[in-house]
A and B are shown apart, each in its own frame.
Chain A
Amino acid sequence: MGSPLNLAAVAMLAVLLGCAAAGPWLVSHDPIATNTAMALRPPSAAHWFGTDQLGRDVFSRVVAAARLDLAIAFAAVSLSLVPGAVLGAAMGYFRGRLDAIGGRATDVLMAFPLFVLAMAMVAALGNSVSSVVCATAVINLPFYIRLARAEAAIRRDLGYIEAARAGGSSHARILRVFVLPNIMPALVVQASVNLGWAVLNTAGLSFIGLGVRAPAPEWGIMVAEGAQFVLSGRWWIAGFPGLALMLAVLCFNLLGDALRDVADPRARV
């Protein structure tokens, strides 16, 4: 856990969370104030990351965007973690018809290429941020259900569960007190990897114009807006938000790997 790479990841997470919490107060320029006289300037001392086609300060926008991107990712992951854990644990614990139906449903969800499903869902639910959260939660749901089901299925016949049952605990109590807390570590590892996917997914959706709308600062939209200027060599408009996006995902992936090593040292590769 104490490797330099992991420490760097933790530091990066702290920076990201700091930007998300205090971003608007940290930056020198208003992230949505336009100033066409200063449009398309390359990075300089006044504008560290340059300015975009409307003269907005790219650095301020990149920092301010952390809030929206991280909020969506955290909301989506918790929305899939909690129902996924409960449903999966119940499926693994009770088996029977619930398990059969739930298993079928997860099979169907996983039969879609995930990004395509997310696209169709956002289009169907309406082009808004809450749809992106929902879509991201749903495409990640099957992973939690399967994991929770497998972990619960291993434990249902173990001694301590049997003892609880013999002691007269109800099924609901057994699930809540004995099964769920025990399967949580595996799910939390999955969640930290998923945060990276969720950020990527959100940015990808807004890159194609779904979910977050301009002028809100968001990494995916900023890359989309800067894309046309890459052809004429103005790389900074898309480049810096792209870099921020990459670092955020990298940070979550590294943390996920580190947590996995702690939770399950055998899986280390």
Chain B
Amino acid sequence: MSLLARRLFGVVPTLLGVVVVTFVLTRLLPGDPAAFFANSPTADAATIAAIRQKLGLDLPLWQQFLLYLGALLRGDLGQSIVTGQPVAADLLRLLPASAELTLAAFAMAVLVAVPLGMAAALRRGSLPDHLCRLLGTAGVSLPTFVSGLLLIHLFYYRFGIAPEPIGRIDPFAIPPPAMTGFFLADTLLAGDLRGFAAAARQIVLPAVTMALFAIAPLARVTRASMLGVLGSDFIRAARANGLRRRKIVLSYALRNALLPIVTTLGMIFSGMLGANVLVERVFAWPGVGSYALDALVGLDYAPVQGFVLVMAGLFIGVNLLVDLACAAIDPRARLLSDA
């Protein structure tokens, strides 16, 4: 396990760097937080000074950083001025909405892109191949906020089959009892099939919007990687030995082609965390992205800091998972055993 431990340990300096960058960035934010907390721009200088002292804003920057780091270790991300709540609580409350959307989009992208890329590699010049290449170039050019609006125009306005893009559920409906925070899972757990259908109808368009931009690079990499593997000697040997096509494709070729696909999944996840902000904006989705945007507009620095940190933390975690998956797929990477 020593290499795995080393990999885990290697995350520490990166995390520390991320915390430093976030700290520096948000200290540069315009606007004096103390003036905000004093709740009036005309508050007298003594009040503002008192609040600055209370918030630790009068200390030298390095002391502020240490205080911040200490608070961070206790799970304290500061207080939001806009909502008046602790940022950590706000983020925890809103994270399931974003996570549900991201995971739904991620699942959609993988389910479409990997089979499409495989089909394209298996039958070069066929319809799936052309589709894959078209998607690969056009898909990455599609800004998520434009494709989202296009889908709204078509499916809400033109065909009238999608609900109004105003969040996770109909504003007059009662949210399901919170168990997981995922409306799709919660409604099912409560046995509320109509609620499930309603939640699903709301999530389809934003999830498709996000999936659209993820499908392109994934299908492209799958196709290229499968093509490389399918041309190698061991596939020819397997074919010459009369193995079944299904076995060759799924357990010989796909398994060997998986490494670049998994690495791309990690990159796509990063893109999705960024796209979240835009997609949530288009569909009025009440997730962490919308929260951070509202805070940004209100010059409320603690939520922005918290949001950036959580996103970076998630991304670092995903990259670790990707590394572990790569080790599991390719034993030569020897991440798990110390050979």
Binding site for B on A (CB under 8 A): 104-105, 107-109, 111-117, 119-121, 123-126, 196, 200, 203-204, 207-210, 220, 223-224, 226-227, 230-233, 235, 238-239, 242-243, 245-247, 249-250, 253-254, 257, 269
Contact = CB atoms under 8 A, between A and B. Distances in A.
Contacts of B270: 113-114
A113 B274 contact: yes
B29 A124 contact: yes
B259 interface: no
Nearest to A252: B141
Interface of B is mostly: helix
Contacts of B146: 223, 238, 242-243, 245-246
Nearest to B213: A200
A17 B216 CA distance: 27
Nearest to A242: B146
Interface in B26-71: 26, 28-30
Contacts of B327: none
Given A104-B13, A220-B145, A235-B153, 5 more contacts: A113-B273, A116-B273, A116-B274, A204-B278, A239-B149
B145 A230 contact: no
A147 to B, nearest CB: 15
A121 B25 contact: yes
B229 interface: no
Report which residue of A113, A125, A196 has the largest number of chain B beta carbons within 10 angstroms of its beta carbon. A113
Nearest to A269: B224
A231 B152 contact: yes
12 contacts: A112-B18, A113-B274, A117-B308, A120-B308, A207-B281, A223-B143, A230-B149, A233-B153, A238-B146, A242-B143, A247-B141, A253-B140
A242 B144 CA distance: 10
Interface residues of B, number: 55
B310 to A, nearest CB: 10
B275 A115 contact: yes
Contacts of A257: 137
Contacts of B158: 233
B278 A113 contact: no
A269 B227 contact: yes
A203 B146 CA distance: 10
B143 A203 contact: yes
Interface stretch (B107-115, B196-204, B311-319): B311-319
B307 interface: yes
A207 B145 contact: yes
A249 B292 CA distance: 27
Nearest to A203: B143
Nearest to B315: A113
A116 B277 contact: yes
A126 B18 contact: no
Contact of A124 (B26, B143, B144): B26
Interface in B138-174: 138, 140-146, 149-150, 152-153, 156-158, 164-165
Contact of B157 (A203, A232, A246): A232
Contacts of B15: 111
Interface in B85-131: none
B240 interface: no
B282 interface: yes
A261 B296 CA distance: 42
A223 B282 CA distance: 11
A58 B231 CA distance: 51
B277 A115 contact: yes
Nearest to A193: B140
B17 A107 contact: yes
Nearest to A5: B137
A253 B296 CA distance: 31
Given A111-B315, A269-B227, A231 B157 contact: yes
B180 interface: no
Report which residue of B140, B271, B319 has the largest number of chain A beta carbons within 10 angstroms of its beta carbon. B140
A196 B308 contact: no
B143 A245 contact: yes
A220 B278 CA distance: 11
Contacts of B153: 230, 233, 235, 239
Contact of B311 (A107, A116, A250): A116
A152 B97 CA distance: 45
B205 interface: no
A249 B141 contact: yes
Contacts of A109: 21
A108 B145 contact: no
A108 B227 CA distance: 34
B75 to A, nearest CB: 20
A104 B297 CA distance: 32
B124 to A, nearest CB: 11
B143 A104 contact: no
Interface in B288-318: 292-293, 296-297, 304, 307-308, 311-312, 315-316
Nearest to B157: A233
Contacts of B22: 120
B14 interface: yes
